[in-house]
Amino acid sequence: MKPTTFFKRALALLAGSVLFGAGPVKLLNVSYDPTRELYQDINAAFAKQWKAKTGVDVEISQSHGGSSKQARSVIDGLQADVVTLGLAYDIDSIAEHAHLLPANWQTRLPNNSTPYTSTIVFLVRHGNPKHIKDWDDLVRPGVSVIAPNPKSSGGARWAYLAAWGYALKKNNGDDKKAQEFVTRLYKNVPVLDSGARGSTTTFAQRGIGDVLLDWENEAFLALDELGKDKVEVVTPSLSILAEPPVSVVDRVAAKHGTTQVAKAYLEFLYTAEGQEIGARHYYRPRSPEVAAKYASRFAKVQLFTIDEVFGGWQKAQKRHFDDGGVFDQIYLR
């Protein structure tokens, strides 16, 4: 047998064993707390599309928790093929500490790898008995605010920064007054959960607090589940544009041989179908067409970005959320 023939046969054998011997392709999506329901629908839709396109079955597992906690798990060895976390800094951490993906990961997909956006709103009890309309109402004495811990939750960090940004604007950029405002706000927080879903449980199921600082999508999910006779969503006058990012975890995907399907999975989030699923789960779509179609689901609110007010996540993280940062000072004091 010629050597070339031998290698061709060996290659065919290898390819055959890969294609027919491995079963369905398996992906692990490590995500943040409130995306459970979103990715259940995304996964089903993508698996169907992938099967139709390639003939290969794909099984996608989900892991959820506080965004930073999830990033820590990936750094510690959780075998995520893709991460869909609450904020870019957490994926930066994976790149920096575990070198599982390149530092420029955010440039690989449109919109800085954030296929959908969200914001921070208030969930209050039916009838809004404490008359909570805007951020100022959260610092009133006697108002109990429920929010997760910014040290472990991405949503909590967005909420903290939203409050800070509001206070800055109200006080003409006076940073000291902004800190006083946020300090007063967190004095009204009786319990810190580790993630957004835990805070929703605290507020909705345990009946604690007058207002829940929450992701917009999580608040509407609670509204759908609990009913309008139990809770109401209040949109503040100003909030932050939350941009939850996504990325393939290159080294893990390469090790699993899932790079191609992982990329396709994340690209699916930008398709019309992926954007519609997101919108149905109250994530604000990037696609103008889908955004227009679902415009009535989202309140019009003035939004600022983290870059505009805080100079990006790296700066915000270092000043506010690192150990010994402003949050530690105001909450532990």
- Which residues of the chain form contacts with other proteins (CB under 8 A)? 144, 190-194, 198, 202, 206-209
Least distance from other proteins to the Cβ atom of residue 85, Å: 18
| Minimum distance of other proteins from residue 190's CB (angstroms) | 4
Contact 117, 241 (CB under 8 A): yes
Question: Closest approach of Cβ 141 to other proteins, in Å?
Answer: 12
**Closest distance between other proteins and the C-beta of residue 333, in Å?**
18
Q: How far apart are CA 59 and CA 170, in angstroms?
A: 49
Dist CA 216 CA 53 (whole Å): 34
- Which CB sits closer to other proteins, 43 or 188? 188
| Residue with smaller CB distance to other proteins, 69 or 286 | 69
| Residue 291 exposed, middle or buried by CB count within 10 Å (0-12, 13-18, 19+) | middle
- CA–CA dist 124, 204 (Å, integer): 10
Q: Which two tokens stand for residue 194?
A: 């580790």
d(CA 182, CA 42): 36
Rounded Cα gap, residues 226 and 228, in angstroms: 7
Nearest to 34 by CA among 122, 148, 174: 148
Cβ–Cβ under 8 Å, residues 222 and 41: no
- 212 or 266, CB closer to other proteins? 212
Cβ proximity to other proteins: between 151 and 281 the closer is 151
Shortest CB 88 distance to other proteins, Å: 25
Nearer to other proteins by Cβ, of 25 and 192: the residue is 192
Q: CA-to-CA distance for 309 and 292, rounded, in angstroms? A: 27
Look-up: residue for tokens 């999975």?
A: 265
For the CB of residue 77, give the shortest distance to other proteins in the complex, in Å: 10
192 versus 238: smaller Cβ distance to other proteins: 192
Phi-psi region of 36 (alpha: psi -120 to 50; beta: other; left: phi over 0): alpha
Q: What's the min distance (Å) between Cβ of 32 and other proteins?
A: 16
Q: Which is nearer to other proteins, 76 or 229 (CB)?
A: 76
Q: Choose between 113 and 202: whose C-beta lies nearer to other proteins.
A: 202
Distance CA 12, CA 7 (A): 8
Q: How far is the CB of 139 from other proteins (least distance, A)?
A: 18
Query: Which structure tokens are listed for 172?
Result: 């003409």
CA 171 to chain centre: 29
Do 91 and 85 contact (CB within 8 A), yes or no?
yes
